Homo-oligomer: A and B are copies of this chain.
Amino acid sequence: MTAIAPSLHISSPPNSSSIDWQAIASELATIVGDRYVVRTREELLAYECDGLTSYKQQPALVVLPRSTAEVAAVVKVCDRHQIPFVARGSGTGLSGGALPLANSMLIVTSRMNKILEVDFENQRVVVQPGVINNWVTQAVSGSGFYYAPDPSSQVICSIGGNVAENSGGVHCLKYGVTTNHVLGLKIVLPNGEVKDIGGKIPEAPGYDLTGVFVGSEGTLGIATEITLKILKSAESIQVLLADFTNVEAAGATVSDVIGAGLIPGGMEIMDNMSINAVEDTVATNCYPRDAAAILLIEIDGLASEVAESAKRVEAICYQNGARNVAIATEPEQRLRLWKGRKAAFAAMGRLSPDYYVQDGVIPRTKLTYVLQEIAKLSEQYGYHVANVFHAGDGNLHPLILYNNAEAGALETVEELGGEILKLCVRVGGSISGEHGIGADKKCYMPEMFSETDLETMRWLRDTFDPKGIANPTKILPTPRTCGEGAKPSHDAKYKLSDRF
């Protein structure tokens, strides 16, 4: 491979073990105020992991700035002392994107929780990164608007985290993921400079830097103001719940609905294990426990359109062998149907002490094959895998149930998760749909990307962050963290200690 920009180095975290953290803490205190610099071991406990709870690492310091100026000043300290920093919103991410690094600074945006501007005429909202996803809809729903991307964690996850991970949700089939709803950003670069990219107008000329930043998982800087697009609330919504005696039929229904030119807001499949877990936990009393799979379909739009689409979708469900199709038209009925799906991840706690959720994408047409292969892998490894997925997008969420107290279980479960990701890539899919790569999946990037592809990404990263201090070691594999030294062979298991 010929290097295109050979003068650029490859990002790697600087050695920051010799830093005088006392002095740094004092410096930070002058910027954000003493109470917003967290330094005791006890207080740091709250920040030692994100939603990927199987991995824990305390940062050296946590700092909670309140404004763009404070973030910029904090990042300048990092730049000057070459301190790696990790940005964190609510810490709900599932790929370890906000997992702290040893001897690093964690910059937490939870105090930056203001909605700065609501512009109904142009359907734009400007928020600080710590604003919770659901607050945006709450702020505009009175005027008939909403913010479309809706991760399951939407009542707690932050918009800043959504931007970092390019989050999805059940309604992204029709409306797209976060990047389709972010028009502009104010960002603090890894050297502390403040920049505005994009704006209120979609598709600005020049290179699409907003598009690059969304999904960059904290490696290109920190977003401190985010301009979002809001949509007009649908006039009418109906939710259909179809139950099937085999998962394949549910999958075929999804393909047929899309093939008929219908685009529901979301189409979700849950398998038998997931159904029983949620019924045990939240008791919707409407998911049939003996179904092999249920398919939830939400249809939104004008009243007449929704009525007609629902009728057609119902017919397609029955054509594919659905035993029953329930239709919810009223808000409380709809919420009841969704309740189990929204609680699916949490419900796994009923079945097992721990679970490991993966996030892969496959072409819709490969659904049946992939589910069969996952079942085989589950049997082979001896761990149950429950399946919940955004079926319309082909976005799988296999939930592997295990007990972390069992020695070696996590490593084996990770290996099983990795086999599922490789399977996704083999059928023409992707190793991430909406959770990002973070720390968890970077070693699988070479499954999906060639070395020159990864090299291009490194150049881009180094262009923004030549010192390699912005969330280093995340996303992109390095020989040190994923190479021969890190694990005995490409397919063998690897340990946490080798990775961070």
Count of residues in A whose CB is under 8 Å from the partner chain: 90
Task: Verify if A11 is at the interface (C-beta below 8 Å from B).
Answer: no
Interchain nearest-CB distance for A143 vs B (Å):
10
Assuming the A-B contacts A8-B5, A364-B122, A429-B201, are A207 and B196 also in contact, with contact meaning beta carbons closer than 8 angstroms in the complex? no
* A261 in contact with B209 (CB, 8 Å): no
Specify which chain B residues have a CB less than 8 angstroms from the CB of A448 in the assembled complex. 204-205
CB-defined contacts of A321 to chain B, threshold 8 Å:
none
How would residues 455 to 494 of chain A score, 1 for a CB under 8 Å from any chain B CB and 0 otherwise?
A: 0110111111010000000011000000000000000000
Bound-state CA distance A177–B177 (Å) is: 16
A197 CB contact (under 8 Å) in B199, B393, B453: B453
CB distance from A234 to the nearest CB of B (A): 7
Tell me, in angstroms, the Cα distance from A140 to B196 when the chains sit together.
41
Interface residues of A in 299-333 (CB under 8 A from B): 301-305, 307-309
CB distance from A453 to the nearest CB of B (A): 6
Of the candidate stretches A30-38, A40-48, A212-220, A269-277, the one touching chain B is A212-220
The closest CB in chain B to the CB of A311 belongs to B304
Contact across chains for A208 and B211 when beta carbons are under 8 A apart? yes
| One of A51-59, A240-248, A430-438 at the interface | A430-438
Q: Does A387 contact B (CB under 8 A)?
A: no
Kindly specify which of A125-133, A187-195, A279-287 makes contact with the partner chain: A187-195
| Contact (Cβ within 8 A) A195 B452 | yes
A450 within 8 A of B: yes
A224 to chain B, nearest CB (A): 15
A90 interface hit (Cβ, 8 Å): no
Known interface pairs A122-B363, A201-B361, A305-B302; A456-B2 also in contact (CB < 8 Å) = no
CA distance A212 to B215 in the complex (A): 13
A162-188, CB under 8 A of B: which get 1 and which 0?
000010100000000101100000000
* Contact present for B203 and A462 (CB under 8 Å): no
| Chain B residues in 8 Å Cβ range of A450 | 195-196
A366 to chain B, nearest CB (A): 9
Report yes or no: A261 in contact with B144, Cβ–Cβ below 8 A: yes
Residues of B within 8 A of A232 (CB): 258-261
Q: A464 to B436: give the CA distance in the assembly, Å.
A: 25
- Asked if A445 meets B365 with Cβ closer than 8 Å, knowing A309-B302, A463-B459, A466-B5, the reply is no
Q: Tell me if B437 and A206 are in contact (CB < 8 A).
A: yes
The reply to whether B196 and A205 form a contact with Cβ atoms under 8 Å apart is: no
Contact A179 B195, beta carbon cutoff 8 Å:
no
- With a cutoff of 8 Å between Cβ atoms, the chain B residues found around residue A457 in the complex are 206-207, 209
Closest 10 CB pairs of A and B: A305-B305, A232-B261, A211-B211, A205-B432, A304-B304, A304-B308, A121-B365, A201-B430, A459-B463, A208-B211
What are 29 A-B contacts defined by CB distance under 8 Å? A1-B193, A122-B364, A168-B203, A180-B180, A195-B450, A196-B450, A199-B428, A200-B428, A201-B363, A201-B429, A204-B432, A205-B215, A205-B430, A206-B445, A206-B454, A206-B457, A207-B215, A207-B457, A208-B211, A208-B212, A208-B215, A209-B456, A209-B460, A233-B261, A262-B302, A304-B305, A305-B305, A459-B463, A460-B460
Apart from A4-B464, A196-B453, list 11 A-B contacts with CB within 8 A: A4-B191, A5-B462, A121-B363, A121-B364, A177-B203, A179-B208, A201-B430, A206-B215, A301-B305, A304-B307, A460-B460
